[in-house]
Amino acid sequence: MAESIEVYYDVVSPYSWLAFEMACRLREAWRISVKLKPFFLGGVMKASGNKPPALVSPTKGMHLPTDIARLAKFYGIPINHNPENFVRVAFSKGTLGAMRFITAVDLCCPEKTEELSRQLWIAFHSQGKDITEDSVISEAARKAGLTDKCIEESLADSRSATTKNRLVSYTQEAIEGGAFGAPWIAVTDRSGKKHMVFGSDRWEIIADLLGKDYPGPLRHLSKL
Ligand SMILES: N[C@@H](CCC(=O)N[C@@H](CS)C(=O)NCC(=O)O)C(=O)O
């Protein structure tokens, strides 16, 4: 049985970005299969009765920028929040449209999912852009190498029942596995056993589950 990692993520989540980049680096370092599974964190929060950490406690909310800045430096990931834009998009407008767009692209050209997700994280978490706007989504898609025709079709497809159902199905899959936040990571070990992991800060444990050595942040394998 080949070892694999499935990463459930939403581009609203900076911690998901850290996990996503590490999973991409480990795919190379560990030569394991990595499956990207775009889901909707809002649906996970609702189903699990959880809340985003900053809304659980103001003290926690005050600590988060410090925690994220340290992790961003450690992993070499350029998180540089525009607080106003972050709050507006994350807590008011939401990333359902962006996640539906990623899902539409994943259904038609899965080879673009990784770079598109990365570009949407960059737009939102590095450049302070409003990824609820079609123009911003299109710009990220263009940077990820999608053609104008493909972008136009994916924007239309992102409103289709097929796309919505697929996003719901990955979200449901994670919820059934016990998800209460993001990143949610399903690790399948050599024997075929699946282990559910929460967080971008569990790589030593994932290495142990897979019988691998933890190689550190692997900044030299960055795709940024
Ligand atoms: N310790 C985790 C924290 C991850 C985290 O806070 N994720 C947020 C989304 S950005 C979440 O879903 N939190 C739910 C919770 O903490 O219960 C990490 O370093 O990755």
SS (H, E, C) the chain: CCCEEEEEECCCCHHHHHHHHHHHHHHHHHCCEEEEEECCHHHHHHHHCCCCHHHHCHHHHHHHHHHHHHHHHHHCCCCCCCHHHHHHHHHHHCCHHHHHHHHHHHHHCHHHHHHHHHHHHHHHHHCCCCCCCHHHHHHHHHHCCCCHHHHHHHHHHCCCHHHHHHHHHHHHHHHHCCCCCCCEEEEECCCCCEEEEECCCCHHHHHHHHCCCCCCCCHHHCCC
35-52 mean pLDDT: 98
**Catalytic residue status for 13:** yes
Is the CB of 172 inside a 6 Å radius of any atom of ligand 1?
no
Q: Is the pLDDT of residue 2 over 90?
A: no
* Residue 35 φ then ψ, to 5°: -110, 125
Q: In 10 A of CB 142, how many CB atoms?
A: 15
Q: Is the pLDDT of residue 106 over 90?
A: yes
Please give the structure tokens belonging to residue 37. Answer: 């599974």
Q: In 10 A of CB 183, how many CB atoms?
A: 27
104-108 mean pLDDT: 98
Q: What percent of the chain has pLDDT over 90?
A: 99
60 close to 54: Cβ distance less than 8 angstroms: yes
What domain range includes position 37? 4-221
Which pLDDT band holds residue 114 (cuts at 50, 70, 90)? very high
Q: What is the pLDDT of residue 99?
A: 98
Q: Is the pLDDT of residue 214 over 70?
A: yes
Which pLDDT band holds residue 81 (cuts at 50, 70, 90)? very high
Q: Is the pLDDT of residue 121 over 70?
A: yes
150 close to 108: Cβ distance less than 8 angstroms: yes
CATH of the domain at 205: 3.40.30.10
Look up tokens 């939403």; give the residue: 10
Q: Is the pLDDT of residue 1 over 90?
A: no
14-40 mean pLDDT: 98
Is the CB of 222 inside a 6 Å radius of any atom of ligand 1?
no
Q: Is the ipTM reported for this complex over the cut 0.90?
A: yes
146-150 mean pLDDT: 97
Is the CB of 199 inside a 6 Å radius of any atom of ligand 1?
yes
Q: Domain count of the chain?
A: 1
Q: Which atom of ligand 1 is nearest to the CA of 18?
A: 20
Is the CB of 86 inside a 6 Å radius of any atom of ligand 1?
no
Residue to mutate, 7, 13, 15, ligand 1, most ligand atoms under 8 Å from C-beta: 15
Question: Which neighbouring-strand residues pair with 195?
Answer: 187
15-22 mean pLDDT: 98
Is the CB of 181 inside a 6 Å radius of any atom of ligand 1?
yes
Q: Note the pLDDT tens digit of each residue in 152-205.
A: 999 999 999 999 999 999 999 999 999 999 999 999 999 999 999 999 999 999
91 close to 52: Cβ distance less than 8 angstroms: yes
106-117 mean pLDDT: 98
Residue to mutate, 198, 200, 201, 206, ligand 1, most ligand atoms under 8 Å from C-beta: 198
Q: Is the pTM of this model over 0.95?
A: yes
